[in-house]
Chains A and B, each alone.
Chain A
Amino acid sequence: MINGVGRYIPDNLKPFISSDNYQGIPRKQIPKKTKVENTQFVENISTIFELINIKSNMTLSFHHHLRNGDKVIQIVAEEIKNRNLLNMHIAPSSIFPSYTNLVDLIKNKNITNIHTNYLNGEVAKIISQGYLDGELIMNTHGGRAVVIESGELPIDVAFIACPVVDKNGNGHGAIGKSACGTLGYAISDLEYAKRVVLVTDTIVENLEEYQIDGKFVDYVVKIDSIGDSSGIVSGTTEVTKDPIGLKIAKDCANLLDYLGLIKNDFSMQTGAGKTSLAVVKFVNDLMVKKGIVGSFASGGITKAYVDMLESNLFKSLYDVQCFDLDAVLSYAKNKNHLAMSASEYGNPYEDNPICERLDFVILGATEIDLDFNVNVTTDSLGNLIGGSGGHADIAHGADVTIIISPLVKSRIPIIKEKVMTVTTPGSDVDILITERGIAINPRRVDLRQKLKNSNYPIFEINELLEMTHKITGVPRKIETDDKIIGYVQYRDGTFLDCLRKVKDEY
């Protein structure tokens, strides 16, 4: 059948209807994990496989807070390989380029099904080529919490990399030699997995502050090192120097101001890319100039926001994942730098998730189409290159959702008639800012009205597309293979789009 964004979804899956359809549906939660009386401390991962009797066809979950420095998923993958377990289902919150040893396991059918929110690198490449025997399900950060708490994604064992653990099994991410900051993506796994294993390299007597509650922890494994610190804090901290990026960022900040969004107690979120960081800098400057104090910034937190918190430009930060070392240190010492779980961040069924409290968000796009649907999951050939992460969550939650992007990236127009893959429905995308013009979603009559008499170069999105084609030429239509390799699942659990194998000729 055809779903609410005009995409084909097989009849056995719940089709996406609309981004606010969840409002009429009650929250479904399986019982949380029962209290563990005695957390056991174990010497190595292999022993865990014996104790829990991890076998073929099981579902194992992971978080990605150690990003490119993560060793835990690789150690567990080695164990799967050594034992030749087959048809394993893994559910890491993201898959990074360094997770290269998953490639052989996928090709050899040790791993056949994957749930994740974001993936790139070699694993993404081979899945795009059709090597995953089962299916890839791509969730949002909030949606992952939904499928876990509802029991739709039952986890047999959660392996939670944890920089420091105490004798009671409580764990924390802010300190330790592999400190990575908050562990927001691991909380649903902790609360709902059948078995929970903390993997650490630092054990202390007693933690006074912790994010991981030992009452859910069955086992703690101490290994030499859970992560390579140089890969953990991999976020960029540099503002873009690209004149096009700077122009877009400056226009974006000025537009926010024109719309009256830079006001006392406002809240915002941006990505961590270089152009987003430029927006943050320009917003910072505006706040200083106008004497504005914001309520909060949220997201993956970077140094730029830490500086604003310390300058009292924001009252607090809600942080699901620290992007750089400054954010890790700030989370460890500043009481107004608050951790949030993925569920508190983006789960539509939470009472008042952070994403719903956002005034505006600034996001990127690989493609955007004439209906304002955004793709950040695949490139224009259909190769997997990312995923929603929080994109669809905050695009829905925020009052104003702005996409910033150059019109052309290496000759590829970012505006398409139809995006290759729908990551975020166009009904949740309000404004597109490019270096040559701004487009406003026709649904936002209020914003169009406000900007009607402004000096901004405002166009219809199809006019921007025509403008782009005059520069680049009209790109040839790309065909995908018929084989479905997986699905994009929306944050409410419905299905937004199919992922298809990339044709061999590309």
Chain B
Amino acid sequence: MKGVAGSKESNDCLITIESSNETKIEINSIVGAFFYDQIYSTIENTLKNENITDVHVIVEDKGALDYTIKSRLLTAIERMREDV
């Protein structure tokens, strides 16, 4: 199962989430030097709140703020759930 949301426009991010046999978060951000940890914990916390485990998340970030990252991830999760 797989879900994708967002874009690679400036100030946005493209998030891909896919079921896997373990949880893995991969972040590729233009502002990673400054905000890697924050992006990581936003993803981690959102997955936790949604009770999701065993997924592979890929974040391609172009400087999105945390609420953008969170909403893109939630949408990607919805799409993954619909993708049967």
Contacts and interface: CB of A to CB of B under 8 A. Distances in A.
Contacts of A473: 35, 38, 66
A410 B63 CA distance: 4
B33 A411 contact: no
Interface string B37-76: 1100000000000000000000000111110000000000
Contacts of B65: 411, 471-472
Contact of A410 (B10, B33, B37, B66): B10
Nearest to A472: B65
A324 to B, nearest CB: 25
Interface string A472-492: 110110100000000000000
Interface in B1-21: 10-11
Contacts, number: 36
Nearest to B66: A473
B25 interface: no
A132 to B, nearest CB: 23
Contact of A476 (B11, B35, B66): B35
B62 A412 contact: no
Interface string A369-383: 000000000001100
Given A411-B65, A471-B65, A506 B33 contact: yes
Interface residues of A, number: 13
Nearest to B10: A410
B11 A411 contact: yes
Nearest to A412: B31
Contacts of B11: 410-411
Interface in A439-497: 471-473, 475-476, 478
A472 B35 CA distance: 9
A42 to B, nearest CB: 48
Contacts of B35: 411, 472-473, 475-476
A410 B34 contact: no
Given A471-B65, A472-B65, A412 B34 contact: yes
A410 B30 CA distance: 9
A472 B61 CA distance: 14
Nearest to B69: A411
A178 B33 CA distance: 43
Contacts of B63: 409-412
A412 B11 CA distance: 10
Nearest to A380: B34
Closest 8 CB pairs of A and B: A410-B63, A475-B34, A411-B63, A473-B38, A411-B31, A476-B34, A506-B33, A410-B10
15 contacts: A380-B34, A410-B10, A411-B63, A412-B34, A412-B63, A472-B65, A473-B35, A473-B38, A475-B31, A476-B33, A476-B34, A476-B37, A478-B33, A478-B34, A506-B33
Interface of A: 380-381, 409-412, 471-473, 475-476, 478, 506
Given A475-B34, A476-B35, 12 more contacts: A410-B30, A410-B31, A410-B62, A410-B63, A411-B11, A411-B31, A411-B65, A412-B31, A475-B31, A476-B33, A476-B37, A478-B34
